[in-house]
Amino acid sequence: MILAEQTATGFEKQFGYKPTGVWSAPGRANLIGEHTDYNNGFVLPFGIDKRTYAAVAKRNDKTIRVATSFSSELIEIELQEAKPEDLDWALYPLGVAWVMRQGLGSGFDLYLNSDVPVGAGLSSSAAVECCVALAINDLWELGHSGQDLALIGQRAENEVVGAPTGIMDQTASMLARADAAVLIDCRSLETEVIELGFGAKDLVVAVIDTQVSHRHSDGGYKSRRDSCELGASTMGVTSLRELTAADLPRAKSLMDDVTYRRVRHIITENDRVLETVEALKSAALEKLGVLFADSHVSMRDDFEISIPELDLAVETAVRTGAIASRMTGGGFGGAAIALIASSKLLELQEAVARAFERADFGPARVFAVSASAGARREL
């Protein structure tokens, strides 16, 4: 609640009056299932206990003003049909407003505050989109469901920001539950809450943030998506979700090596998500070690989205005693996660610091996260 109150105070200092309310949404960590979302596959994310907060109030005109705690810049635009452009961080909240523009009767003032690390693969962008979408939905009484708002956030990121991301991040941020992950079928958009059971075994999810920042709108992400679409069209299907491991020999005979490896990652990653769900349901957490390791190798070698810092983070976590570890998020930087005994967290922090220093990498941050509830009104 402290950050929520600070956000309300920041709004009042910026705009000279009190906000109508404060809404928040969590960042997310993905247990397993990378780049499967835009291939209509399966993902297993959870909301984390680091959140973005939006203090909002309606205006009596068509002006939208956006400010944040991390920039002195105040962005001011008129509510209009034209898409906002060239506004850097402000494109995320303004993109949501543009997608929801038909329901907006007026402009608004907005102040953002967050403790979700930016560029760490923890979906700071979706947290912004979801808390802003929920605030607009509540203030204008638009009646959208949580899944509707997730789709609105995705449209904002795709159409305004220009990042061709799937639906996972926004769905996780909107629909997350405490102490659970959310299995998302990205084809049907059906979700299932999967209890994690980590606390009962005194385990925590440690995030190893390499502090190598990534941007989803860069070309590496788009080229992976293009390869997946090429693979699907080559196999005569609408998405790679329709393929199984039995299709891999035929895929190999039809595709160039790069496209084949991209396709192989998606097919095998979907299987690993479902196997992880079964392991969690049966409390067989020891099975996660191989599943996470295979996922990381697939992302490193087949999808080629890991970097040396992420590989070292995973190696160090396993060497320190983590039950399971893998990179998480879109890749090309960001973070790895490790499932580890809470008593070993300090040891992991020290081991990562030594390993990164020996490798002449920049310092990494290591911190524990817990599964947190999705988007909600705070004040």
DSSP string across 227-254: HHHHHHHHTT-SSGGG--GGGHHHHHHH
Q: How far apart are CA 71 and CA 286, in angstroms?
A: 44
156-171 burial, b at 16+ Cβ within 10 Å, e below that, comes to bbbebbebebbbbbbb
Q: How far apart are CA 337 and CA 346, in angstroms?
A: 15
Q: Are 374 and 175 in contact (CB under 8 A)?
A: yes
Q: How far apart are CA 144 and CA 215, in angstroms?
A: 29
Question: Of the listed 49, 86, 148, 169, which one is catalytic?
Answer: 169
Alpha helices in 123-189 (DSSP H): 124-139, 146-155, 168-175
88 is annotated as an active-site residue: no
Q: How far apart are CA 334 and CA 241, in angstroms?
A: 26
**What type of residue sits at position 289?**
G
Degrees to nearest 5, angle at CA 166 with 265 and 104: 175
CA distances from residue 175 to 29, 45, 167, 210, 270 in whole angstroms, order as listed: 13, 10, 12, 27, 21
Strand-pair category, 108-114 with 63-68: parallel
Please count the other Cβ atoms lying within 10 Å of the Cβ belonging to residue 84.
20
Q: Are 374 and 123 in contact (CB under 8 A)?
A: no
Q: How far apart are CA 245 and CA 132, in angstroms?
A: 40
Structure tokens at 172: 């996780």
Catalytically active residues are 169
